[in-house]
């Protein structure tokens, strides 16, 4: 591996000029060795011109449980949104008010109602390629399944999926679309254009739902009231903006990571094929081991310190969830994948007040996908000679060429 495994030391603080130099293709494919080395050598890592990186579980817990010092506001991540995204970029105490309204809509009891529809969608996608014995898993499954599920939840037309994917990539990966660095003026202009198109789109949808309700989340956003509080139009726009970004990317990345693991570890795949009751535990363990969303960012609201490292007001604090989820101080045998792990307090969905609103939805989608896929396609492999190239931060792939015995099982 060309990337360094540890930072250099200058004075009293470990520093590194470019932390993203650590993220070469091999690291993104198999991040665990680099993350373990970083955590052991530099629990807190100063990043020139940015702030600090947190690589240990207890330090990340400390930051996340102090949102008044380490904020999630718009200064933490610039997505060209004009107002804070709800509830992601809202700190307490206002954050609690929004969660009171939104949490019941995504509670486990609500997700149970979606299981049959998710299973039908999974099987419909599998029907489209099972007789071929080959599939681009990314293009034909991991992208369309959660994306179409998201569109259905919001009552949006499935044939507009390409437009939604373009919007999502224009916000999350504008540099890859424009072909210029993220801070390049042309890239930022493109990202702002896409952000405006998202607001315009959902503005029209809210007009439609205001005139005629449907059985979808946007209609429920308009009608839900908790303790006399209802969402305003702008608040619904901000929620929809966030949902578009999160709903079309993170579950896709999770599926890419998990199936990428299974093609390399057939012994673990056989465990869930032979005993599907292990799938819920396997989902939790692979969320821990792979951590598809590697890092989240906070911004320091005042001069402070963490782990003995000075932090200045305005500095970014990068919490490496992926490293914390391997921390042996938290997990017995943290460097081993075990589907019989009894206590699995991973933080793949974050921790504290900003724990992911859609975590129950994501778990349901992934669990149903693993169950139905392995029921019908128990044996599969990466095409000979192919490699998986994962993106940084949110670890997804554009192509995942896979082979399996054609027509394995009926739906």
Q: State the pLDDT at residue 19.
A: 54
Cα 266–271–272 angle (5° rounding)? 105
Average pLDDT, the chain: 91
Q: Give the pLDDT confidence score for residue 226 in this predicted structure.
A: 79
Nearest to 348 by CA among 275, 259, 251: 251
Tell me the average pLDDT across 243-261: 93
pLDDT in tens, 127-147: 999 999 999 999 999 999 999
| 98 has a pLDDT exceeding 80 | yes
CA 2 to chain centre: 27
Over range 234-263, report the average pLDDT: 94
Query: What is the mean pLDDT of the segment spanning 314-340?
Result: 95
Rounded distance between C-alpha atoms, residue 68 and residue 58, angstroms: 18
pLDDT of residue 107: 94
Residue 371 has, within 13 A of its CA and on its CB side, a CA count of 18
Global pTM exceeds 0.85: yes
Average pLDDT over residues 94-111: 92
pLDDT (tens digit per residue) in 2-38: 333 334 333 334 444 455 556 688 889 999 999 999 8
- Mean pLDDT of all residues in 107-120: 95
Q: How high is the pLDDT of residue 255? A: 98
Mean pLDDT value across residues 162-188? 90
Q: Are 65 and 352 in contact (CB under 8 A)?
A: yes
Quick: pLDDT tens for 264-305.
999 999 999 999 999 999 999 999 999 999 999 999 999 999
Q: Which domains does the chain have, with CATH numbers?
A: 8-403 (1.10.630.10)
Q: Which two tokens stand for residue 239?
A: 């929620």
The residues pairing with 46 across neighbouring beta strands, listed in sequence order, are 15, 52
CB 74 within 8 A of CB 90: no
How much is the pLDDT for 352?
84
CA dihedral 62, 301, 321, 53 (to 10 degrees): -100
Nearby residues of 224 by Cβ (< 8 Å), 6 or more positions away: 101, 104, 105, 230, 231
pLDDT in the model for residue 256: 98
Give the C-alpha separation, 89 to 97, whole Å.
13
Whole-number pLDDT of residue 177:
86
Average pLDDT over every residue of 46-66: 92
What pLDDT sits at residue 7? 40
Per-residue pLDDT band at 69 (split at 50, 70, 90): very high
Q: Residue 110 — pLDDT band, cuts 50, 70, 90?
A: very high
Q: What is the pLDDT of residue 11?
A: 35
Question: Does the pLDDT of residue 321 top 60, yes or no?
Answer: yes
Mean pLDDT of 152-172: 92
Give the least confident one: 51-65, 87-101, 252-266.
87-101
* Overall average pLDDT of the 116-126 stretch: 97
pLDDT over 90 percentage in the chain: 78
DSSP E strand stretches across 201-253: 225-226, 229-230
> Is the CB of residue 389 less than 8 Å from the CB of residue 302?
no
Angle at 71 between CA 65 and CA 72, to 5 degrees: 105
């Amino acid at each position: 591996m060309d990337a360094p495994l540890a930072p250099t030391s200058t004075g009293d603080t470990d520093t590194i000029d470019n932390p993203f130099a650590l993220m070469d293709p091999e690291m993104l494919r198999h991040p665990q060795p680099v993350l373990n080395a970083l955590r052991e050598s530099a629990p807190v890592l100063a990043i020139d011109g940015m702030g600090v990186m947190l690589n240990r579980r207890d330090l990340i817990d400390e930051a996340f449980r102090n949102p008044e010092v380490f904020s999630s506001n718009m200064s933490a991540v610039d997505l060209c949104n004009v107002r804070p995204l709800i509830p992601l970029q809202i700190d307490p105490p206002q954050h609690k008010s929004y969660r009171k309204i939104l949490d019941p809509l995504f509670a486990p009891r609500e997700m149970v109602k979606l299981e049959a529809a998710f299973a039908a969608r999974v099987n419909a996608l599998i029907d489209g390629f099972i007789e071929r014995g080959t599939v681009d898993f990314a293009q034909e499954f991991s992208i369309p399944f959660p994306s179409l599920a998201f569109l259905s939840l919001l009552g949006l037309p499935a044939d507009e999926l390409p437009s939604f994917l373009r919007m999502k990539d224009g916000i999350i990966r504008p540099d890859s679309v424009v072909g210029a660095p993220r801070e390049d003026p042309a890239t930022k202009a493109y990202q702002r254009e896409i952000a405006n198109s998202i607001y315009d789109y959902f503005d029209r949808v809210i007009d439609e739902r205001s005139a005629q309700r449907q059985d979808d989340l946007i209609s429920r956003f308009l009608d839900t009231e908790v303790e006399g509080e209802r969402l305003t139009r702008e608040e619904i726009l901000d929620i929809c903006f966030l949902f578009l970004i999160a709903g079309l990317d993170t579950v896709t990345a999770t599926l890419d990571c998990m199936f990428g693991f299974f093609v390399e570890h057939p012994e673990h795949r056989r465990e869930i094929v032979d005993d599907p009751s292990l799938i819920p535990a396997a989902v939790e363990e692979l969320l821990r081991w792979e951590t598809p969303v590697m890092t989240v960012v906070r911004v320091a609201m005042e001069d402070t310190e963490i782990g003995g490292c000075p932090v200045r007001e305005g500095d970014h604090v990068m919490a490496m969830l992926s490293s914390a989820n391997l921390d042996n101080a938290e997990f017995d045998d943290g460097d081993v994948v075990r589907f019989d792990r009894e206590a699995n307090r991973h933080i793949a969905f974050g921790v504290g007040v900003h724990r992911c609103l859609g975590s129950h939805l994501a778990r349901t989608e992934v669990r149903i996908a693993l169950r139905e896929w392995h029921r019908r396609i128990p044996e599969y492999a990466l095409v000979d000679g192919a490699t998986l190239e994962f993106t940084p931060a949110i670890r997804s792939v554009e192509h995942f060429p896979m082979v399996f015995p054609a027509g394995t099982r009926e739906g």
